[in-house]
Structure 1
Amino acid sequence: MSEPLTYGLGPEWTPGPDGVPFRRAARVILVDEYDRLLLVRGHDAGEVTRSWWFTVGGGVDASEDVRDGAAREVFEETGLVVGPADLVGPVLTRSAVFDFARVTCRQDEQFFLARVSSADAVSDDGWTELERDVLDEMRWWHLDELAAAVSAGAVVYPEPLPALVRGLLGGWDGSTPHLDESSV
């Protein structure tokens, strides 16, 4: 039996109809009691000088419910426990095409919102070997500080994240906008 084609990225990546690696992903916008946003900074395995900030989350297994996958990813990447019922949304969907490790990838994402306590310790104990290679830090951001960092050249995905989170702090209105970042 041959190994499934994973492009060196992980087993959840499969060839799309056009041959481009594809996966479904769940992302969680984690906000603490001070309205700070927890983000992860990573770099490209194929171009280590390229880095960006992004929300916690990752691939959803083929048979996995997206909320279950989101909760699992929060625990694996941060050590924080968030149940599927604690997730608000989806507050955003996103289609993206991006290069990672010199491979063009396509990903469809659902974003959820969850409130957590900053008093709970954040841990990278659940990171995979690939994550340990490409993830550099986790940090709580005040939105004004994040917006200033973006203005100064920091890269954040999705790009409108500071404005999206600011709009969600007063509560979710039930809408699920779609962000298409799928042009290469």
Structure 2
Amino acid sequence: MTYIDRRAARVLLVNAEDRVLLLCGGDPARPGLRWWFTPGGGLDSGETPAQCAARELAEETGLRVDPTELGEPVHHEVTEFSYREQHYRQNQHFFLHRVPSWEVDSAGFDADEQETITEHRWWSVAEIETTDAEIYPADLAALLQRCADTVRGH
């Protein structure tokens, strides 16, 4: 199988109630399949992961932050997936950004996002741990717990 290599950045957007924002969407090539995922996407040419994360956050949620506010990535992974019948190997960095609250504005969605992202929701760690829904990254609950422990200084 031939993969398209892609670099990406994603954001763990966490509110004051320790809920993380997830978007729900799917692949037009596989109608009926839906999954939940963090805001983010592929790096543009010459873009740093933090710049990409800030741009994607603005596009997908309406929240504008300076890339320096995101700090260093809290997680890194390489994942493989298919989308529109093409196979990708994605090297992605995750940034943690906390907000008191945020009302999602999807006006910045590009045409592809308008077609594929159908809803958003703030999730607690407990909800993530007990849901049957498909959520990415697969270890999101543990990742959020590690981030919370780091913030608390444990």
> Normalized against structure 2, the TM-score is what?
0.92
- Rounded Cα–Cα distance in structure 2 between residues aligned with 1:132 and 1:60: 19
Other-structure match for 1:130 = 112
Deviation of residue 19 (structure 1)? 5.1
| 1:49 has 2:32 as partner | yes
User: Compared with structure 1, are the counterparts of its residues 146 and 19 closer, same or farther at alpha carbon in structure 2 (3 Å cutoff)?
Assistant: closer
C-alpha contact 1:91 1:172 (8 A) present in aligned 2: no
| 1:161 has 2:144 as partner | no
Other-structure match for 2:128 = 146
The structure 1 residue matched to 2:21, chosen from 38, 41, 45, is 38
Structure number with greater CO (CA < 8 Å, separation at least 6) is 2
> Normalized against structure 1, the TM-score is what?
0.77
Other-structure match for 1:98 = 81
C-alpha contact 1:28 1:113 (8 A) present in aligned 2: yes
Q: Helix, strand or coil for the counterpart of 1:48?
A: coil
C-alpha contact 1:90 1:110 (8 A) present in aligned 2: yes
C-alpha contact 1:82 1:114 (8 A) present in aligned 2: no
Q: Which has the higher helix share?
A: 2
Structure 1 stretches (4+) deviating beyond 3 angstroms? none
Q: Helix, strand or coil for the counterpart of 1:162?
A: helix
Deviation of residue 171 (structure 1)? 2.6
Number of aligned residue pairs: give it.
Answer: 152
Other-structure match for 1:78 = 61
Aligned residue type for 2:76: T
- Rounded Cα–Cα distance in structure 1 between residues aligned with 2:39 and 2:150: 20
C-alpha contact 1:31 1:113 (8 A) present in aligned 2: yes
Q: Helix, strand or coil for the counterpart of 1:90?
A: coil
Q: Which has the higher strand share?
A: 1
- Rounded Cα–Cα distance in structure 1 between residues aligned with 2:151 and 2:21: 18
C-alpha contact 1:59 1:69 (8 A) present in aligned 2: yes
Q: Unaligned stretches of 5+ in structure 2? A: none
Structure possessing the higher radius of gyration over alpha carbons: 1
- Rounded Cα–Cα distance in structure 1 between residues aligned with 2:118 and 2:150: 31
Other-structure match for 1:15 = none
